[in-house]
């Protein structure tokens, strides 16, 4: 069984090829059972373990994510994740990878993939809301799809935004801190949110006609990144049907009647497969809401493993 540490996993997942790997996997599909959630309690700690399997005819993969919030008090990471890949024909283990890298890079790449279908081709101004692990990768991913001229960063903690701006400048981006979220959102062609917010940050009234809103956070019913007006009257796509069952960004307007299931234009698989979809009004705003899927993890893990095969790792 081959072992890919954090650096080796990252090196095998450049966004240019990862976006295309995901496109192919969303077209082909794979088997994705519901994730298993287990609560772990002992005399000294409490945690949650998520087990996320997926498979196709050649590969079977399982991601294990352990969240132990109490680690923060001891200044230890609260989240640990590994990915194991197996031969689907024999069940033999063939690789273990860094699950944190798999998750963060496939998440950013999925947003860029969706935007390649939904955002205006001439989009040049990106606003990143957040400054965490996934947010820090969004500009790199989007750069593979759009010729970005400006990247603005807003974060509730201004020091986080400043740090990310510095990193992006080193990577060659024209990056600036956004001190006023409303003004930055109004100026952006693409607004991409990757936060743990529980109250809406982005307001629909701020968003320009023809802009694209990418919502990555809000993967539980209690979380929200955008208000109802940001979702309503927009061309709305989701990564999988699970998004409408888990995300507060969709559950809240669905519950109030300001959004109905028929307003969801389709999934990312529909976009990638070229399925005939509802007519999109010219210059309509678009929204992509994702909650993540084990399909993306499997796609990324296969790329890591097969890149090592071709390079003689």
Length of the chain: 313
Same domain, 146 and 208: yes
The residue-averaged pLDDT of 2-17 equals 97
With a pLDDT cut of 90, the percent of the chain lying above it is: 85
286 Rama sector, left if φ>0, alpha if ψ -120 to 50, beta otherwise: beta
Same domain, 61 and 176: no
Q: Domain holding 254: CATH number?
A: 3.40.50.720
Same domain, 302 and 249: no
Please state, in angstroms and rounded to a whole number, the distance separating the CA atoms of residues 290 and 110.
9
pLDDT in tens, 213-226: 999 999 889 999 99
pLDDT of residue 280: 56
In which band, very low, low, confident or very high, does the pLDDT at 120 lie, cut at 50, 70 and 90? very high
Cβ-contact 102, 300 below 8 angstroms: yes
Name the phi and psi angles at 143, rounded to 5: -65, -25
Same domain, 127 and 240: yes
Residues facing 82 on adjacent strands: 64, 98
**Confidence check: pLDDT of 14 > 80:** yes
pLDDT of residue 77: 83
Task: Give me the half-sphere count of Cα atoms (radius 13 Å) on the Cβ side of residue 95.
Answer: 27
pLDDT of residue 309: 75
Same domain, 155 and 34: no
Same domain, 81 and 162: no
Residues of the domain holding 158: 110-292
**Confidence check: pLDDT of 8 > 60:** yes
**Confidence check: pLDDT of 186 > 80:** yes
Strands (E), 168-225: 175-177, 190-193, 212-215
**Confidence check: pLDDT of 310 > 80:** no
List Cα–Cα distances, 79 to 34, 75, 147, 231, in angstroms. Answer: 21, 12, 34, 31
Same domain, 73 and 222: no
pTM for this entry: 0.94
Same domain, 87 and 152: no
Same domain, 133 and 282: yes
CA 15, 17, 23, 26 torsion: positive or negative? Answer: negative
Same domain, 76 and 223: no
Same domain, 153 and 138: yes
Cβ-contact 289, 243 below 8 angstroms: yes
Same domain, 19 and 32: yes
pLDDT of residue 159: 95
Please count the structural domains in the chain.
Answer: 2
pLDDT of residue 70: 86
Query: Mean of the per-residue pLDDT values for the chain?
Result: 94
pLDDT in tens, 159-177: 999 999 999 999 999 999 9
pLDDT of residue 177: 98
């Amino acid at each position: 069984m081959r072992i890919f540490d954090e650096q080796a996993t990252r090196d095998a997942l450049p966004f240019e090829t990862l976006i295309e790997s995901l496109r192919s996997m969303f077209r082909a599909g794979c088997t994705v059972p519901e994730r298993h959630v287990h609560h772990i309690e002992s005399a000294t700690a409490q945690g949650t373990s998520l087990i996320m399997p997926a498979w196709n005819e050649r590969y079977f993969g399982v991601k294990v994510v352990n969240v132990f919030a109490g680690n923060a008090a001891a200044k230890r990471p609260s989240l640990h994740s590994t990915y194991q890949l197996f031969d689907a024909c024999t069940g033999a283990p063939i690789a273990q990878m860094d699950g944190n890298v798999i998750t963060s890079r496939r998440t950013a790449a999925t947003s860029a993939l969706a935007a390649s279908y939904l955002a205006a081709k001439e989009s040049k101004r990106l606003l990143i809301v957040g400054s965490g692990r996934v947010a820090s990768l969004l500009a790199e991913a989007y750069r593979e799809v759009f010729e970005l001229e400006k990247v603005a960063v807003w974060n509730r903690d201004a020091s986080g935004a400043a740090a990310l701006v510095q990193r992006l400048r080193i990577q060659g981006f024209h990056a600036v801190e956004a001190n006023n979220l409303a003004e930055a959102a109004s100026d952006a062609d693409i607004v991409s949110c990757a936060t743990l917010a529980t109250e809406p940050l982005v307001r629909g009234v701020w968003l320009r006609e023809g802009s694209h809103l990418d919502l990555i956070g809000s993967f539980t019913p209690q979380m929200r990144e955008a208000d109802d007006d940001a979702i309503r009257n927009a061309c709305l796509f989701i990564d999988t049907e699970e998004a409408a069952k888990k995300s507060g960004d969709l559950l809240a307007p669905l519950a109030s009647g300001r959004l109905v299931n028929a307003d969801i234009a389709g999934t990312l698989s529909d976009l990638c497969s070229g399925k005939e979809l509802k007519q999109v009004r010219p210059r309509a705003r678009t929204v992509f809401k994702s909650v993540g899927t084990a399909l993306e993890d499997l796609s990324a893990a296969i790329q890591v493993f097969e890149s090592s095969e071709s390079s003689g790792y």
